[in-house]
Structure 1
């Protein structure tokens, strides 16, 4: 009996293998979808939908698989963004993207200054764009798609797409922090923060924070969290000291992690659920803390933590 053909033999014979061809682009597609949606789960769903469409497509007529699949995923994400608009408007408290532990795996393979940036600050800036601005900016500025193709994808003129991308670019540059932090410095500040919280030491926490530090906490109505950002060194310090005074072991079961490329902590609660804190550091101080408590945004982490 003949041996089954392996991938190399299949390619040599020119046999169509949609799964193999799709998998070659999966990382790129998930990276695009996550930037569009700010959700790991929704990004993976959009990519799975694209996979089903790829199976049904006339693949022999597709000249560039990556371009075809990128267009498919972008359209699916635009549909999801439009459908999610009402949900986002009624979201309880600040909205934060789902935390991502392996940001490097979803870096775009382009020369864009944004290629490896999946920081929370960037994703929050993208969230404030319209769906079309977001699509035009990501496709052109991050994934190097020409404006003619962007125009065909989103159903606008090429000139309109240039304007969309220009507006988005200006907003992102104004809102997105650009401060590189050495891993050692990030780890040191996060460890000092965790220690100060454990001691409920408000003054110790204040020394670690920038004067205009801001805390964004996302409970989504599922977990207790501040309904508005908390701004100012002393207010943020008192917030965490107050939590520690009520719950002395609040960070006892925590470990350091890279979250969206930022230094951070993963905290395991008594019931086994998790929460994450990501820290934006500027000039040796903690400038922003992104605290995700909404269990809907953390479920995808469970397989990674066992």
Structure 2
């Protein structure tokens, strides 16, 4: 390892390990725990025959994440209302790379939730980070043939369900601003013009704050629901007029952060179709899922 300490080697690859774990697990809290577990295993391991520390560490964090994902999926089956990933800030490099931005988008992470843990691991390592199948097979202690089969199934599944949105960041930014203006302005006709006919709203309150218990589908239902929310109360229980709104890059796309004083109360991202209309709204109000934004956790890969 060229005379560097174990801590220096780990620190060099820490952001990559977090990026792998976050895509595997969908929450920053679990990803941070997985990275910490990876460090403990790395620190205790006999590294005398490790000639590729990066690959070795990715292998560790992938398997730690697999173990955590299996238990997390059981918990998510009893989750109150729609489950959404924990939003994180993303660096400009992620936002400007269309493929990287899509790989960490809320919509993509929701799709990845429908894969088996092994399929998700193979998809993340192969399709997002470009690892060869032979290397993934070694990491997962599987045959290369079985890993290729897992990868094929995962890719077909994701391609059938992955969202389609324009790569042009400015198109997405303008769509967010039009959507915000129409929603807060209370103009139903203006709001309808910003929405795709089959738009969906995912509202994640986790049973801890006000939120829709099911995904809302269709422009008419979505506009009425949004109108009701803004006229009455926000998911956190304060009126919209009391909130401060910040723009931020969230999960690879322009997003909105809502604060009440020093408290962060919700985060919103939207997907945009080819016509620049909002095709999905992801609203996270569960306070357990706002720690990463509050603490400024930023994804760089």
Q: Same fold (TM over 0.5)?
A: yes
Structure 1: gaps spanning 5 or more residues: 1-10
Q: Give the direction of change, closer, same or farther, for the CA distance of 1:140–1:184 in structure 2 (3 Å limit).
A: closer
Question: Which among 21, 24, 32 is matched to residue 33 of structure 1?
Answer: 21
Structure 2: gaps spanning 5 or more residues: 234-238
Q: Give the direction of change, closer, same or farther, for the CA distance of 1:181–1:149 in structure 2 (3 Å limit).
A: closer
Distance 1:288 1:82 in 2: 28
Counterpart secondary structure, 1:25: helix
Superposed counterparts of 1:61-76, under 5 Å: 61-76=49-64
2:292: which partner in 1?
Answer: 300
Q: Give the direction of change, closer, same or farther, for the CA distance of 1:222–1:271 in structure 2 (3 Å limit).
A: farther
Aligned residues: 290
Superposed counterparts of 1:1-306, under 5 Å: 15-102=3-90, 113=99, 117-247=103-233, 249=240, 252-269=243-260, 272-282=263-273, 283-304=275-296
User: How far off its partner does 1:268 sit?
Assistant: 0.8
Counterpart secondary structure, 1:266: strand
2:236: which partner in 1?
Answer: none
Counterpart secondary structure, 1:133: helix
Distance 2:258 2:178 in 1: 15
Distance 1:179 1:40 in 2: 24
Distance 1:268 1:202 in 2: 25
User: How far off its partner does 1:185 sit?
Assistant: 2.9
1:4: which partner in 2?
Answer: none
| Structure number with bigger Rg | 1
1:7: which partner in 2?
Answer: none
RMSD over aligned CA atoms reads 2.4
1:8: which partner in 2?
Answer: none
- Which moves more between the two structures, 159-168 or 200-209? 200-209
Distance 1:93 1:239 in 2: 16
Higher relative contact order (Cα pairs below 8 Å, separated by 6+ residues): 2
What TM-score, normalized to structure 1? 0.87
User: How far off its partner does 1:189 sit?
Assistant: 2.5
